[in-house]
Amino acid sequence: MDDSDPQTPPPRLIGEVPYVFLLSAPRVVAEGVRQSLQARNIPVYLETPFTVPEAYLGTYTGTVSLWVPQVLYSEAVWIVERDRA
């Protein structure tokens, strides 16, 4: 997480946990990343541009954002970079 990057969204609370932006990607790619992180016990919040059923049913296949708990951000980045190599 680069706090100096003006393009990086600020952290947000989900429940009482601060989450930070991890990446934006097409949904099919993001779902793979999400499964990889969740398999390592890192909770992931997937955000679509919609709040209607498309968001929950998975029918939207465009760009989505993944958010992870701030305390697990470094580990999440490490996993994503390792899996990408």
Residue 23 has a CB neighbour count (10 Å cut-off) of 15
pLDDT in tens, 51-85: 766 656 767 788 999 999 999 999 999 999 998 87
What does the pLDDT look like over 7-57, one tens digit per residue? Answer: 788 999 999 999 999 999 999 999 999 999 999 999 999 988 877 666 567
- Both tokens of 1, joined, read 């997480």
In a domain, 68, yes or no: yes
Report strand pairing: 12-14 vs 17-26.
antiparallel
pLDDT in the model for residue 13 = 95
Secondary structure E strands in 10-83: 12-14, 17-26, 45-47, 63-69
Assigned domain for 54 exists: yes
Number of domains within the chain = 1
Tell me how far the alpha carbon of residue 69 is from its chain's centroid.
9
Q: What pLDDT is stored for residue 1 in this prediction?
A: 53
Residue 76: which CATH number?
3.30.70
pLDDT of amino acid 55 = 59
pTM across the whole model:
0.84
